[in-house]
Structure 1
Amino acid sequence: MTDRPDVLVLRKAAHGMPIEQYAAALRERLPHHEVTLARTPEQEREGIRDAEIVTGMWLTDDLLDEAEALRLFACGYAGTGHLPRERLAQLDVTVTNASGVHGPNIGEHVLGAILAFSRRFHEGFRRQRRNEWRSFETHELQGSTVTVVGLGAIGESTVNRLAGFDVETIGVRYSPEKGGPTDRVVGFEDDDLHDALAETEYLVLACPLTETTQGLIGTSELVTLPPEAVVVNVARGPVLDTDALVTALQRGWIRGASLDVTDPEPLPADHELWDLGNVQITPHNAGHTPEYYGRLADIVASNVRHVTESGEYDGLANQVPL
């Protein structure tokens, strides 16, 4: 057993929830460690000087300048592209992320969006606001094909929640030979992707933003989708070409879109997407869940215990290659 390293929690909160809740969740799971919350820039600068383990949503170069003992940064987000990764690698700092934290809540968000378009709840809401008792046509999810791009924790959670709806599922991933929970798995090659899109009623984007996925769904892909298709984006805005999407929605190339992320983001108040009746927009809100800090603390506390018992800052859960 090694000395118990202290844990420093940085001040930036996630999803509008007080960062104090995260610190409290870590203290509950690590009763024999000192968990310190830095609530001001000065406290961050002072605290990081001697901290071996730091956790938070961001870590700037200026703050790294003050770090003298840092061995592990446990990022509170699943994505780490905003971190100074090259410098962290040079300093031999291990980085972990929050992958898996969002699986249940974003899976539920996607399922809700699909059901809303299937039963056309948005049209029901419009008629309710007008006090209008008049029937409207709807759709059935049963028998549809749902294509999920990205089979990480969020994609897998989405597929699992679709299991009881009698749908055909297609997964799209970098390494299709790995398989997945879907009925079929294809790669990102143009022909394979377009073959899948041609039979897709609901297209779910749940992949990370990379060179491969940036602009993945543009004019050609939207034209390939059937006219009754709905696009659900819980990935990142730039995965879906915004101008092409607007054109597709206006011209009836697809039936609708549910967007939790946009490009640009935040979506400007005068953007035409706001005024399209076949678009559902949420403000990057799918990741919000009251369980966020608890799930994140489970991952981080497990890694802290690993370090305490082994003295090793390698082989950690959610370790990110730098």
Structure 2
Amino acid sequence: MNTPQCRNVPAAGAPLHVLFGQPRFSGEIGWDAVTAHWPSDLAARTTVEAVEHHALTERLTGGGRQPDVVVPVVSALTAPALRCSTFGLVQQFGVGVDAIDVEAATAAGVWVANMPGLNAPHVAEHALALLLALAKRLPEAADGFAPGRWGSPGARSLRGSRAVVVGTGAVGGATARLLAAFGVDLVGVRRRPEAEPPVPGMRTYGVGELHAALRGADVVVLAATPVSGAPPLLDAAALGVLAPGALVVNVARGAVLDEAAAFAALRTGHLGGLGLDVFTREPYPADGPLRQHPRVVATAHTAALTSGYFADAARQLGEAVARHVAGRPPLHPVNSPRPVTSLG
């Protein structure tokens, strides 16, 4: 079988240039440390460059040195950037490829690949952290030290609640397994409800039965992959069938939640709290209403940004670069590019 050839596979032993679309990670970990997790010979000939997430297209279309591999992270990778560049691999540092024009990449002869499942345990922990912060009202905890307020605010237990995980793939499955330890009535929503559930005895519904699954839910965790162009899964109607005071956590993508409807439900008290790591617009403005509300616990799309995940993903990136320079297809491609004979 002929393996599809992407453009611009570097010569054996040649210097390599990897471009990241976001300069910072967090704390003690940064993009300049990525190659520390690679084989020494590969690391020694690789130059790492990072640009602000909003500047990736300008960097690629500006006529500067062309990278061999692009890692967009949270950056958009557009058709113009793909058409006028010469790199042959887009390797995402995680799962999401919704900001990458995969069709344009395929037409340009560029592989696009991701790292499915690698972030699951880290994002699941984060989902539980958001949920517990809401249930235990941790953002309001300091109020209990005010005069006459000792012992407040009152919190709630997850035990016995109806908890629905929307999307039970790698992240949702890991979240469901953590939730099971809290003694909840666990329900899942998935595209194939007949498949083995991630937790024995967990009831599962199809996407077409979403409202039935959500009816009376006390807790909802969104971990579903959005369908491009589709309306939000959790819209005003879906929010309306939840139990009064329900807690909603979104660690999927901003597109799966109708933020305006959720904010309205917070104002009326129908929702008891929102835990958000993703937003329809990213970066979300510092003065945005969802960040300022007292019943919202928000993080800046950091669910997977742990030192453990960074090391695992860095190693997998090194493997991807090694396969690319050897002329081999990625381990987890999301496309199959046609051969390109001319870059003109």
Using the size of structure 1 for normalisation, the TM-score is 0.81
Once the two structures are superposed, the pairs formed by residues 9-88 of structure 1 within 5 Å of their partners are: 9-13=18-22, 16-17=25-26, 21-26=30-35, 28-33=37-42, 34-38=45-49, 41=59, 45-48=64-67, 51=68, 53-57=69-73, 58=75, 59-61=77-79, 63-65=81-83, 67-68=85-86, 70-88=87-105
Does the CA contact (< 8 Å) of 1:22 and 1:294 recur in 2? no
Once residues 307 and 127 of structure 1 are traced to their aligned partners in structure 2, the CA distance between those partners, rounded to angstroms, is 57
Moved over 6 A (4+): none
Measured after TM superposition, the shift of residue 300 of structure 1 is 2.2
Give the structure 2 partner of residue 320 of structure 1.
334
Measured after TM superposition, the shift of residue 227 of structure 1 is 0.7
- Mean CA deviation greater in 200-209 or 253-262: 253-262
Once residues 151 and 94 of structure 2 are traced to their aligned partners in structure 1, the CA distance between those partners, rounded to angstroms, is 45
Give the structure 2 partner of residue 99 of structure 1.
116
Change (3 A) 1:208 1:142: same
Matched residue SS, 2:40? coil
**Equivalent of residue 150 in structure 1, options 167, 184, 196:** 167
- Mean CA deviation greater in 74-83 or 8-17: 8-17
How far does the alpha carbon of each residue in 1:121-175 deviate from its partner, in whole angstroms, 9 at most, with x for none? 2332333366831344322212222211122332122122223222232222222
Measured after TM superposition, the shift of residue 194 of structure 1 is 1.2
Once residues 176 and 114 of structure 2 are traced to their aligned partners in structure 1, the CA distance between those partners, rounded to angstroms, is 23
Once residues 21 and 124 of structure 1 are traced to their aligned partners in structure 2, the CA distance between those partners, rounded to angstroms, is 33
Give the structure 1 partner of residue 221 of structure 2.
204
Once residues 88 and 291 of structure 1 are traced to their aligned partners in structure 2, the CA distance between those partners, rounded to angstroms, is 30
In the alignment, does 2:320 pair up with 1:303? Answer: yes
Q: What amino acid is aligned across from residue 36 of structure 1 in structure 2?
A: T
Q: Which has the higher contact order (CA 8 A, sep 6+)?
A: 2
Once residues 261 and 152 of structure 2 are traced to their aligned partners in structure 1, the CA distance between those partners, rounded to angstroms, is 32
Matched residue SS, 1:177? coil
The answer for unaligned runs of 5 or more in structure 2 is 1-10, 52-58, 337-344
Measured after TM superposition, the shift of residue 251 of structure 1 is 1.7
In the alignment, does 2:107 pair up with 1:90? Answer: yes
Measured after TM superposition, the shift of residue 274 of structure 1 is 4.6
How far does the alpha carbon of each residue in 1:207-230 deviate from its partner, in whole angstroms, 9 at most, with x for none? 223247632112211110011311
CA RMSD between the two structures: 3.3
Equivalenced residues, count: 312
Does the CA contact (< 8 Å) of 2:130 and 2:276 recur in 1? no
Once residues 267 and 55 of structure 1 are traced to their aligned partners in structure 2, the CA distance between those partners, rounded to angstroms, is 22
Measured after TM superposition, the shift of residue 93 of structure 1 is 2.0
Once the two structures are superposed, the pairs formed by residues 214-253 of structure 1 within 5 Å of their partners are: 214-253=231-270
Give the structure 2 partner of residue 115 of structure 1.
132
Does the CA contact (< 8 Å) of 1:27 and 1:35 recur in 2? no
Once residues 312 and 306 of structure 1 are traced to their aligned partners in structure 2, the CA distance between those partners, rounded to angstroms, is 5
Give the structure 2 partner of residue 176 of structure 1.
193
Using the size of structure 2 for normalisation, the TM-score is 0.77
Matched residue SS, 1:32? helix
Once residues 82 and 27 of structure 2 are traced to their aligned partners in structure 1, the CA distance between those partners, rounded to angstroms, is 24
Once residues 304 and 162 of structure 2 are traced to their aligned partners in structure 1, the CA distance between those partners, rounded to angstroms, is 25
How far does the alpha carbon of each residue in 1:253-308 deviate from its partner, in whole angstroms, 9 at most, with x for none? 22221122234444455544455432222233323222343222222233344556
The answer for unaligned runs of 5 or more in structure 1 is none
Does the CA contact (< 8 Å) of 1:236 and 1:261 recur in 2? yes
Once residues 264 and 294 of structure 1 are traced to their aligned partners in structure 2, the CA distance between those partners, rounded to angstroms, is 28
